[in-house]
Amino acid sequence: MRRTVAGFLVAFCLVGCSVWTSGVAQAPAVQSAADHPSEQRTLAGGSGAPTHDATWWKHAVIYEIYPRSFQDTNGDGIGDLNGIRERMGYLEALGVDAIWIAPMYPSPQVDFGYDISDYESVDSQYGTMKDFDALLAAGKQHHVRIILDMVLNHTSDKHRWFVESASSRTNPKADWYVWNDGVKVDAPGVTAYQKRFEHDGMVPPNNWESLFGGSAWEWVPARKQFYYHRFYKQQPDLNWRNPAVEKAMFDTMRFWLDKGVAGFRLDAIPELFEDPQLRNNTETGGVNAQGDPNMTSQYTSNLPEVHEVIRRMRAMVNSYPGDRVLIGETYLPNMAEMLKWYGGAARNELELPMDMLVGFSDGYSAAHFRQTIGAAETELDGAQPLFVFDNHDNARSITRYGDGVHDVAIAKTVAAMLLTTRATALTYYGAEIGMPTTPPTRKQDVKDPIGITGWPKEKGRDGERTPMQWTPGLDAGFSTAKTTWLPIAPDYKTVNVQTESGEPESLLNWYKELIALRRTNAALHDGGFVMLDAGDANVLAYVRTAPQGSAPVVVAINMSGQAKTVSLDVSKAGVKGKTARTIAASEDSLKGLTSLENVQLPAYSAWVVEVR
């Protein structure tokens, strides 16, 4: 659901397959939660018992790649699949288990790939199917799985299905999209907003808006009807009430599963269905950046019918070997709604709905993260959370949380939360080196259409999509082109992989250190989770309880701009030891500490210790 944070808050105010083992170093053998009956979900603030489940995605670090921006190998200023393949060694060294590649299918690029014109091919600007096959092979060699973005809600208006559907009311695909006659402009109840989109005396049937501005209904003279588009008008919504649509889209997914992809990230998946009665969404007052009325999405998003589709999809994907995974782009208002996307107790829908409440709502505070991480631990019935702080639609976390002075230190605390909790970790290219959001300063430089229509209140998403910064040299090592598709951020001479690789205290090396611990430390790999010090306004602290024969791990993060002294009482987590052994610390002063008592945490610091 490609939208900004602000948009999310407004909307929710209301077949031989090529598979392989993960290559992850295995933690010591552990007992399951069933071997610890006294600990099972009895500890405040989390699932206290360790578990052991070798399913790869439950321990994974997944790395989103925006293909236009990762690595250009042919000098046209646009990243490509061969560029991703060339950087597989870097991804393996970082510790990535899988990459999610944003759409690389043929597309008119109105929404930079999220408007797909052919689901079973590769856009020529990114390469060929041969290049994709080589990428899969390189991933296998480097123990990095490939996850594809699958856009099921809509196609491009240039897709052959829509071209046929729009041609008449009687063609074989006439009912593959959401069409409506509209209502007469002078009909009772027609609003002034609807009248803005009048055609031949007809207006859209209701007040539904595109998330990218204007009415969600577009007139087609050949049919004398409107079609529905939740996003840009060039992205008509498929009619998922038509079984032929489901079959066609499932067949497309099988095409890539047969090639050996590890699964899919499902774009805008709550948007598949709309209210068949076409009831108006509720207006909430005021206007958005595009000048349209603010309104809820109760009749256009997260309708119950979508879960039936997901259950069938999960069964189809489960027919393939290798623990293929379905990840959902699920901007949801609370944990109760999140649990539905797992399939509730049946666990027969998505393996990993994205939890956007932790990393994309509210601000940077111990109270916020304690509440949201705690909710994921206590209100999902033990399901595996997926945390995410950065993606291609939102300002980067180092920019959202940074204060302009301690940005890197704050980014290290965010990395600590992402990589030491029980959740599967989803990160975004450049987060590991601290790439900031670099928005355009002039409207004429904007590439993202939503930034053009919403300027200056909405500057679009170009700022979080700038090219990856590899070196301090030409084009930051991203390209050899005279002009890259988006400008290189001006900080590239210091914020880049080459420079940070040689700096022991860099953000990049902090990521590598934490990811390595996540793989090899038994408590971080398989331990339970218990929140500590619920009343502390500044320090977030928690325990990863230990599998049998291993040491528990305590994580303490100071989220204030002043040093804080804490004594960490781990007894409520069933931990008896008091001797601390630092295994990771973002500040040198923490590295030699041996006690959990009277610990002085520097401003914006993270401390990770084993307790003996």
Whether 123 sits among the annotated catalytic residues: the reply is no
Using CB atoms within 10 A of its CB, is residue 243 exposed (0-12), middle (13-18) or buried (19+)?
Answer: exposed
- For 345-417, where are the E strands, in sequence order? 352-353, 386-388
Contacts of 282 (CB under 8 A, 6+ apart): 14, 295, 296, 298
In sequence order, which ranges of 537-585 are alpha helices (DSSP H)?
none
Dig out the tokens for 519 from the structure: 């793989």
According to DSSP, the β-strands at 564-566 and 599-601 are antiparallel
Instruction: Extract the tokens encoding 137.
Output: 């092979």
- Among candidate residues 131, 329, 475, 500, the one labeled active-site is 329
| Cis status of the peptide bond prior to 50, with omega within 30 of 0 | no
According to DSSP, residue 235 is labeled S
Residue reference for tokens 């909710």: 375
Closest CA to 555 of 378, 421, 381, 415: 421
* 35 noted as active-site residue: no
Q: 424 Cβ partners below 8 Å, 6+ apart?
A: 57, 58, 59, 60, 62, 352, 384, 385, 386, 387
**Dihedral angle over CA of 577, 572, 523, 381, nearest 10:** 170
Cβ atoms of residues 58 and 424 within 8 Å = yes
Instruction: Give the active site residue among 72, 80, 131, 267.
Output: 267
Ramachandran category for residue 413: left, alpha or beta (phi over 0 → left; psi -120 to 50 → alpha): alpha
3-state secondary structure of 577: coil
Omega cis (within 30) before 270:
no
Strand 145-151 and strand 179-180: the pairing is unpaired
Show the tokens assigned to 187. Answer: 């009909």
Longest Cα–Cα distance in the chain: 78
Which residue is associated with the tokens 């331990």?
527
Tokens of 286: 């005021």
Nearest to 463 by CA among 479, 475, 476, 451: 451
Q: Which positions are catalytic?
A: 267, 329
